[in-house]
Homo-oligomer: A and B are copies of this chain.
Amino acid sequence: MYKGSFSLSTTEPMHLVDITSEVQKQVSQTGIEEGICHLFNPHTTAGLTINEGADPAVRTDIIRGLREIVPIDYPYKHMEGNSPSHIMASLMGASLSIMVSSNLLQLGTWQAIYFCEFDGPRTRSVHWQLLASS
């Protein structure tokens, strides 16, 4: 069974944290050469996405874009006041599946894996599980 969790700290209300190297570290420790790495976010005001890792402006723009896309001042019913965060969580999604070959995540040249905080700052966790291919 090759699985585990790691935690991370977000420092802003909306914050995309690059978790690529942490996920690769977990994959490396399994020693599994070929398979599928599943990632899961167990929080309801956060999500997971894959996008450009090179220019930090891209993650800033994703945050700005989502703030424009999701109505912030709408008369929502949920009393905690974080309904936009819940909606953003569903727009990004809770699970990702990434191929592993030669013990390496098979990401594209410019891709990075992001944990998406939408109701921070908080301490959060990410679950992973690696299924080996036969």
**A interface list, Cβ under 8 A from B:** 1-3, 34-36, 38, 40-44, 49-52, 55, 57-58, 60-62, 64-66, 68-71, 74, 76-80, 83-84, 86-87, 89-99, 101, 106-111, 127, 129, 131-134
- B50 touching A94, Cβ below 8 Å: yes
- B40 touching A97, Cβ below 8 Å: yes
- Which residues does chain B contribute within 8 Å of A74, judged by CB atoms? 64-65, 68
A79 to B108, CA, bound (A): 21
- B77 touching A61, Cβ below 8 Å: yes
- B94 touching A91, Cβ below 8 Å: no
- A61 touching B83, Cβ below 8 Å: yes
Please tell me how many copies of the chain the complex holds.
Answer: 3
- A90 to B: closest C-beta gap in Å: 4
Considering only CB atoms, which chain B residue lies closest to A50 in the complex? B94
A3 to B36, CA, bound (A): 11
Pick from B38, B50, B78: contact of A36, CB below 8 A: B38
Pick from B40, B49, B133: contact of A1, CB below 8 A: B133
Considering only CB atoms, which chain B residue lies closest to A110 in the complex? B44
Chain B CB count within 10 A is highest, among A68, A83, A89, A132, for A83
Besides A57-B78, A69-B69, A69-B70, 9 other CB < 8 A contacts?
A36-B131, A42-B108, A49-B93, A51-B86, A52-B86, A61-B87, A65-B83, A69-B71, A94-B96
